[in-house]
Structure 1
């Protein structure tokens, strides 16, 4: 199906992803004020999974059987535990807007991973140029912190690395989804994927004693509600719907829009600074992303 013949609801879903996911970086930073990172991610996905599962059962659509649990658990691990959990960890040390900019490197990892898959797309000279541009943007960000040293600089670099690992997890999960049949109803699969990832994250949080360190405040509860309802239940489901009807290359434009929203909100509401170095790095990352994605 082409974008011209896609139902209008697919366009609404696409716009929802572009806007809502741009706000989740702010919500994560606020939630981390009193909630440990594993609990932020775990509660988010478990709450969304329980609500979506209840809806599937109430409407008679059911949930995937046990024979599908293993691939869905793997998908939940790659996309939600690694893809989202590492982002939450990183935002303890990396500003929300900057995190969104770094997430825009996802197309680079898509090109790299696809290069080594049997049926993946081959590298082109343009892809190599785009990768070089994008990763040079990351170097612009982390090099001064590495040179400065100290615990703050070291944790910032670790946060940047965690974000790149999150991108790899997300791309690996997306590639897995493209190559494996997970049922005719993507929302049934999504519900179980959320449940499995929530179990993994909450188990890890419990094992390291995070419940003893949690402190819910009206501010952090509001942030968690936004993450679970708007970020996971609504926007994640909208993403799954949009890619069923719109070209993936079109839907991926959200990666350009999310950072602009995240940077604006971080600067406005959290007083996050915007330096010349951040602007230069962002330009390099976006330029590289555009070159890699250009056909």
Structure 2
């Protein structure tokens, strides 16, 4: 009998494809528009659209006072303190470096916070999944460093060092916010929660950009050019409306560490897109790294439950 993936495994695959292609759009956008303004307008617009969609579908609920602090913390951690440093840092380091930093640290951060907050338990399968995924990332991106050796300290001085640290920090704020969000996902519809957190987090980025970011106010003229606008719309529709909502549902149903294993498949998508559209070369070592990463993702998601009983199913 042919293997038939369940709904959450299909969601996982869709998330990997979408978020594997967003790095290119982000890099193209922030080369033209100040990064915090680019991120702030993207998430504010996406949050508003998600809330309208939730209202149209009737997926609404009254938030309890006791959940207000957690809701605010999740919004700030998963959007404001994640994507602000991430977009800012990508100005100063290569896209591939940013991808490997953020994607290798994300599953580790998710598992660590899930264990600390007792949302998940540790088992050998999850340890192996993360070990395989990180090892595959190292194999895949190692040849990109000069002479096949690790980058030397001088390569990370000044802005490059700050950019790398900013990108790395995004994995931990996102991981902490994801684990804090799971109890909320048991009580409220995933679509509604995605809309609220995206809108609040996006507003936070927008305000910070207006106050602190050079050129942010002039960027409101919206004279960005076709490339930046195409990138912005792609990130709003696919990266946020579809991708973030899908991630929230996975987070609710399969837990933070399993959902976060998308980071082991998204680089494979990025490599495939580079080979298909930019004529980038795929070496034998790349193939080895891809196989190892996919093995880690398989270990994480093979036993993923079809769904979890929740108060508000979406």
Which TM-score applies when normalising by structure 2? 0.72
Structure 1 residues 266, 16: CA separation in 2 closer, same or farther (over 3 Å shift)?
Answer: same
Count of paired positions: 288
Contact 2:182 2:252 in 1 (8 A): no
Between the aligned partners of 1:235 and 1:228, the Cα distance in structure 2 is 9
Among candidates 50, 59, 62, match of residue 60 of structure 2: 62
Aligned equivalent of 1:99:
98
What secondary structure is seen at the aligned counterpart in 1 of 2:40? helix
User: What do residues 75-102 of structure 1 show as CA deviations (whole Å, max 9, x unaligned)?
Assistant: 0111111222222112112222332222
| Further displaced range: 177-186 or 224-233 | 177-186
Which TM-score applies when normalising by structure 1? 0.76
Between the aligned partners of 1:253 and 1:127, the Cα distance in structure 2 is 12
Structure 1 residues 109, 274: CA separation in 2 closer, same or farther (over 3 Å shift)?
Answer: farther
User: What do residues 23-54 of structure 1 show as CA deviations (whole Å, max 9, x unaligned)?
Assistant: 11000000012111111211111111111111
Among candidates 146, 154, 162, match of residue 148 of structure 1: 154
What secondary structure is seen at the aligned counterpart in 1 of 2:92? coil
| Further displaced range: 263-272 or 109-118 | 263-272
- 2:85 maps to 1:86: yes
Question: Displacement, 1:272?
Answer: 8.8
Question: Displacement, 1:104?
Answer: 2.4
Aligned equivalent of 1:36:
34
Question: Displacement, 1:122?
Answer: 5.9
Give structure 2 stretches of 5+ with no counterpart.
304-314
Structure 1 residues 267, 121: CA separation in 2 closer, same or farther (over 3 Å shift)?
Answer: same
Question: Displacement, 1:161?
Answer: 1.5
Between the aligned partners of 1:220 and 1:31, the Cα distance in structure 2 is 5
Question: Displacement, 1:195?
Answer: 0.9
Aligned equivalent of 2:110:
110
User: What do residues 266-295 of structure 1 show as CA deviations (whole Å, max 9, x unaligned)?
Assistant: 6776799999xx97xx78x959x77x9699
What secondary structure is seen at the aligned counterpart in 2 of 1:50? helix
Question: Displacement, 1:55?
Answer: 1.5
What secondary structure is seen at the aligned counterpart in 2 of 1:238? helix
Give structure 1 stretches of 5+ with no counterpart.
none
Aligned equivalent of 1:73:
72
RMSD: 4.3
Among candidates 159, 168, 174, match of residue 170 of structure 1: 174
Between the aligned partners of 2:76 and 2:85, the Cα distance in structure 1 is 11
Structure 1 residues 226, 94: CA separation in 2 closer, same or farther (over 3 Å shift)?
Answer: same
Between the aligned partners of 1:122 and 1:243, the Cα distance in structure 2 is 17
- 2:193 maps to 1:185: no
